Amino acid sequence: MLITRALIGLLGVPLAIFVVYTGGLALLASLIILSIIGMHEFYRMTRAYKPNLLAGYLGAVLILIGAYSGQLEGTLRGVVYLFGLTFLFHAIRGLKAEMVQEMAVTFFGAFYIGIGFAHLILLRSPAYGISLAIVVLLATWTSDTVAYAVGHFYGQRQISPVVSPKKTIEGTLAGFLGTILVVLIAGKSLGWMGTGQFFVLGVALAIAAPLGDLFESYLKRASHVKDAGTIIPGHGGILDRFDSLLFTTVTAFYLVTAMVGK
């Protein structure tokens, strides 16, 4: 399992960096595909609540297109469209007692996944070029990989045996320190923030990444599934692989915007 995860990482990380570096329609198309697959996994886990897949898919795509064409304003406009589509498609089904919870699951799945991936587009802004997006990708990958490796070989104490039995205190601490170190090293070559600010960013990402992983674990345990999917060998599904990134992209965007003001 560890070797498989490592091989997938060695192939996947350069590919992800290349797509982010290329940007444009290649990045948008890639994120749309990942979002649709991720939502398919989410809606399959929550199928008991009868979410409307078409409303969710369309809404998330509009969020991503909004981020690509209109930055933050376009992203928020996409969320409004998602809200309208969610109500419209559920209203067509007819009024029933379960309508509120069905709409809630439809909206949440598309919002959770669409917003997370949309902020990867927002990170690739004119103010930072591709550098901030690359730093977030490397930091997130470091958090996941170091935490898993250290936890696998040296982990003794579980953080949450019920929700995430394989996550250990030792692994999480190693991932935390590794993430901060990677961000500080990357910050040495970037001039748009000082060392102290990059340290703050590193700490924030070191917290956000395992929280994203833990959040998805909650979703899986509540849905009584081991993995969200099976599309990625050694990792599971798209949500299993990108759960941390869905949190770190949002964290980085608003934190750096607050510190730098761009």
pLDDT at 11 over 80: no
Give, to the nearest 10 degrees, the angle between helix 99-123 and helix 24-45. Answer: 150
128 three-state secondary structure: coil
Structural contact between residues 124 and 130, judged by C-beta atoms closer than 8 angstroms: yes
Query: Where is average pLDDT lowest: 128-137, 180-189, 223-232?
Result: 223-232
Residue 95: which region, alpha, beta or left (left: phi > 0; alpha: psi -120 to 50)?
A: beta
Amino acid in position 32 = I
pLDDT surpasses 90 at 15: no
What is the identity of the amino acid at 206?
A
Q: Give the lowest-confidence range in 12-26, 80-94, 159-173, 175-189.
A: 159-173
Please say if the pLDDT value at position 2 is more than 60: no
Residue 138 tokens read as 């490397």
The reported pLDDT for the residue numbered 235 is: 61
- The answer to whether residue 96 scores a pLDDT higher than 90 is no
Q: How confident is the model at residue 4 (pLDDT cuts 50, 70, 90)?
A: low
Is the pLDDT at 1 greater than 60? The verdict is: no
Distance CA 71, CA 119 (A): 9
Lookup: tokens for 226: 């081991």
Specify the pLDDT at position 131.
92
Mean pLDDT of all residues in 6-31: 84
Considering Cα of 167, then 173, then 174, then 180, what sign does the dihedral take? positive
pLDDT one-digit tens code per residue, 132-170: 999 999 999 999 889 888 887 776 777 776 677 677 888
Q: Which residues touch 209 (CB under 8 Å, ≥6 apart)?
A: 139, 140, 143, 144, 175, 179, 244, 247, 248
Helical axes 53-93 vs 99-123, angle rounded to 10°: 150
Confidence of residue 64 (pLDDT cuts 50, 70, 90): very high
HEC string of 148-173? HHHHHHHCCCEEECCCEEEEEHHHHH
Average pLDDT, the chain: 89
> H helices within the chain, ranges in order?
2-22, 24-45, 53-93, 99-123, 131-154, 169-187, 195-223, 238-260
Lowest pLDDT segment from 127-136, 181-190, 252-261? 127-136
| Crossing angle for the helix pair 195-223 and 238-260, to the nearest 10 degrees | 150
More confident site: 96 or 109: 109
Please report the pLDDT score of residue 127 as a whole number.
Answer: 72
| 199-227 confidence digits (pLDDT tens) | 999 999 999 999 999 999 889 888 888 77
